[in-house]
Structure 1
Amino acid sequence: MLQYPQTRAHSVWYFFCSLYITQYIGIGFISVALIAILRQQGYSLSQLAMVQLMALPAALKFLWAPVIDSWGHTSRAHYKNWLLLAQASMVLTLFGAGFLQPAVHLHALLLVLFCFAILTATQDLALDALSCKVFTVNQRASVSLLQVGCGLIGNMIGGGLVLILYPDWGWKMCLMVMAVLTSLAWLQLVFFPEPSAAKIQTNTLYHSAKQWFAVWKGNRGWLILLLLYPFGFMPIFSILTPNLVDHGWALPDIGFAIKVFGSLVGIGAVVLAKFWFQRHSRVRNVQNASLLQAVCLVALIPPALGFTGRLWVYVGVFGYFISLPLLYASITAVMMDKASQTDAPATAYTIQNALPMLVAFIAAALSMSLAQHFGYAFVAILAVTCSATAAVLSRFVLSSLSSKPHES
């Protein structure tokens, strides 16, 4: 770890942990809680597709990544300045959303959440760039696992806790709770000393933006694989929440199954991955995780066919969350390797992350429309087919990537 004495090493990990958690609280809320609430109020699948697109800024953040890399330098900080601004604005936005009831002010609420998504994406840009500079090559897989694990905790709060509390606490109180939790990380951020190694030489916007294309040089196979993955894991998970609502599941039960139980399984997968990643190279980790996910997503086909008893649903949720963290952590470690070799890490990392994310949100929206016309089972089988195709292709297209040493 750069520029930090051993006595501060643990506090740096805690710092990144708290920010990653708060970053995903709102994402978890939009992706599960809001959809479940609106579906219960009678909104159609086509209307829910519009909600999925409210998170589109997270997939388009590469457009302003060069701004994060090029602007915001002061004598004492760079990325921290962006984090302070984004985090404070996220708190205010959640607070304001609490006064907009979904059944009455849906369009205004979606506009506020769209602004929130932009702020969350900006925080993600600055935090990923900072991590590329702060952590060493042998720590990057661990950082990726930390991000996944903390993301699951944030999702558990935003997507699970909100649904569990919603019937008793109501909309406004739940949003206030999320705003308060998000503000706690901002207080920690104020006292975090950004190391000098985390600052980079000021680049022009043009210089930073060139990373949109430079990072793919000699890596076409990597690009194809990243664009294919979302067509597997995103549609089959997106249809699960409305499917359960249609079959009479209560909102607290949905929140617990998907965001509490699922997140706990995912956190367990992150712990196991720490040891698994030490045994293989970066490339082998991606290949193994691709195969594991293709197998595990099959468990979500029975619920899509109408088998929505608790056993079927919990087995499907287990399969999804035991495999996705391993896949995401393995591919983000490779992304971080490539980004750290540039002087515009926010842009280089984000373009690799944002393109598949853009495809994921489009796939999620399309899955709602396809389910409306062809049924949930059609979407699930199509998604598993795409995941299996990605697993096969990973054995061929990743040969061009350099194989990194084992994680220490």
Structure 2
Amino acid sequence: MTEVATTTRLRTPAGTWWLLGSLYTTQFLALGFLSVALVALLQEQGASMSRLSLIYLLGTVWAFKLLWAPLLDHFSWARLGHYRGWLLLTQAGLVVAPLAMMAFDPVADFAAVYALAVLVAVLSATQDVATDAIACRTLPEAERGLGNGIQTAGGLLGNLLGGGVLVMAYPSIGWGACMGWLAAGTAVSLVQLVWLREPGQRLTPLSARTLYGRLRTFWPDAGGVGWLFVLLLFPFAAGLAYGLVTPLLVTAGWSMERIGLVTNVAGSLLSAASALAVGWLLPRWGRRRALIMAAAINLFGSAALLAPWAGWGGAGGSDAALTLAVCLYFLCYTPLHVVLATLMMDRVHPASAGTDYSLQFSVFMLSSMGSATLAPLLIDALGMRDTLLVGALAALASVVLAWRPRLSTPPAPATPPTPARPS
């Protein structure tokens, strides 16, 4: 069947868009702050690398949210709404946790603060499962691109506010005030949720056994090994280049403050703007054209990082050339994420929305994190320029794969999973 691009007006109410944007932003506020601030505070106190590694583990929680996503699809809060109930619970927890941290010193009481930080990571990942499920069941096909543009931009904005603006304010306002601001910012979404009437078709919850079985039966319905390979290759190419940005700038002699300004502030703003633009344009382009263009844009971003090391701007690249290359990379980084997230949403069954989307996202995230972790090892083995070349070649392979028509069109819906029998 030939895909037809559309320019229809938005059917989803404005309030739903504001809520989705708010949820996708506030889920990262506390986690973004803790991931940066705790590392900085512990480093100032001369903490061991083993203790610092505990902070970095907080981000890996999201990759394993598929393990409890079926529980969110199965258990329903009758009066509160199926996913709305989960959102109220997790968002309230994300407000309370920073308030509880106010009672502790982040260094002297590290064990208590870290336990609460783990709770924040679990709550934010769980909130994301419920938010994704509502988005999957609410947004019509023509609006999923914009929805995923808002998802990506919201996450970047949350990280920028929590891990950037509030971290910079920390020396002036202190730990307690930062925790208060995190709680207040997160509470905005909680207030919005009070007035939410959960949209979407009412479905009989599936049994937990059926939902956990989706971890195995989903892939044949979604396109088999081919779609799994896409979720491994595309983020691998993008993640490898991402993992090279900081080492590239450190090698060029940049200070950490300058690296943070360019990557965390300018990079986040450029990436967020790019995500929103691609999300808006996706229904006008159509799925296949959008996938090809996003893969090509990602290739251009990877090549931009390689250009200074190929002689443009002098040996190793001038400051101006490196700044331009990094900014171009961040501008080109998010379109592929938005398009792939939209295609993931297209493959979701409404009765198992949280499970289906989380399964795909976990594969995507593990591949991206794995390649970013691999980047420093490749630099040691191959050198900076050859490692950049490997990233560009992986991005080129993504462009070639994107031309396959079947990738951008999900298979015909399979027989819905069997609902749970009434007890």
TM-score of the pair, normalised by structure 2: 0.80
How many Å separate the matches in 2 of 1:23 and 1:371?
33
What residue is the counterpart of 2:154 in the other structure? 150
1:258 maps onto 2:266 in alignment:
no
What residue is the counterpart of 1:402 in the other structure? 409
Aligned residues between the structures: 395
Higher mean displacement: 264-273 or 122-131: 264-273
Letter in 2 for 1:257: V
Which of 312, 315, 320 is the equivalent residue of 1:311? 320
**Per-residue deviation, residues 177-232 of structure 1 (Å, max 9, x unmatched):** 2222112211211221223x354212110112222223211331111111123322
Shift, 1:96, TM fit: 4.0
1:330 maps onto 2:336 in alignment:
no
Shift, 1:70, TM fit: 0.4
Shift, 1:173, TM fit: 3.3
Which of 208, 211, 214 is the equivalent residue of 1:208? 211
**Per-residue deviation, residues 73-102 of structure 1 (Å, max 9, x unmatched):** 314411011011111112222334456666
What residue is the counterpart of 2:421 in the other structure? none
1:59 maps onto 2:72 in alignment:
no
Shift, 1:236, TM fit: 3.5
Higher mean displacement: 368-377 or 144-153: 368-377
**Per-residue deviation, residues 27-75 of structure 1 (Å, max 9, x unmatched):** 5435656556666777788876654332112111111111000003314
Q: How does 1:3-402 map to 2 (within 5 A)?
A: 9-29=13-33, 51-97=55-101, 109-195=113-199, 197-217=200-220, 218-238=223-243, 240-241=245-246, 247=253, 249-251=255-257, 253-274=258-279, 276-301=281-306, 311-339=320-348, 341-367=349-375, 380-396=388-404, 399-402=406-409
Shift, 1:115, TM fit: 2.3
Q: 1:37 to 1:351 in 2, by over 3 A?
A: same
- Contact 2:62–2:125 (Cα < 8 Å) also in 1: yes
Shift, 1:135, TM fit: 1.6
- Contact 1:58–1:117 (Cα < 8 Å) also in 2: yes
**Per-residue deviation, residues 306-325 of structure 1 (Å, max 9, x unmatched):** 95875345323322321222
How many Å separate the matches in 1 of 2:266 and 2:195?
34
How many Å separate the matches in 2 of 1:52 and 1:180?
25
Higher mean displacement: 312-321 or 9-18: 312-321
How many Å separate the matches in 1 of 2:320 and 2:38?
25
Secondary structure, aligned partner of 1:72: coil
- Contact 2:69–2:354 (Cα < 8 Å) also in 1: yes
Q: 1:268 to 1:136 in 2, by over 3 A?
A: same
How many Å separate the matches in 2 of 1:189 and 1:368?
42
How many Å separate the matches in 2 of 1:44 and 1:236?
28
How many Å separate the matches in 1 of 2:388 and 2:140?
39
What residue is the counterpart of 1:3 in the other structure? none
**Per-residue deviation, residues 253-288 of structure 1 (Å, max 9, x unmatched):** 444322321222123213432453234321221222
How many Å separate the matches in 2 of 1:309 and 1:102?
40
Letter in 2 for 1:324: Y
Shift, 1:127, TM fit: 0.7
TM-score of the pair, normalised by structure 1: 0.83
Letter in 1 for 2:207: T
**Per-residue deviation, residues 87-138 of structure 1 (Å, max 9, x unmatched):** 1112222334456666555565444333221111100000111111122112
- Contact 2:150–2:279 (Cα < 8 Å) also in 1: no
Q: 1:18 to 1:309 in 2, by over 3 A?
A: farther
How many Å separate the matches in 2 of 1:24 and 1:384?
30
Higher mean displacement: 210-219 or 41-50: 41-50
Letter in 1 for 2:304: A
- Contact 1:219–1:400 (Cα < 8 Å) also in 2: no
Where in structure 1 are there 5+ consecutive unaligned residues?
1-5
Letter in 2 for 1:230: P
How many Å separate the matches in 1 of 2:382 and 2:238?
19
Q: 1:65 to 1:271 in 2, by over 3 A?
A: closer
Secondary structure, aligned partner of 2:13: helix
How many Å separate the matches in 2 of 1:392 and 1:324?
18
Where in structure 2 are there 5+ consecutive unaligned residues?
1-9, 412-423
Shift, 1:328, TM fit: 1.2
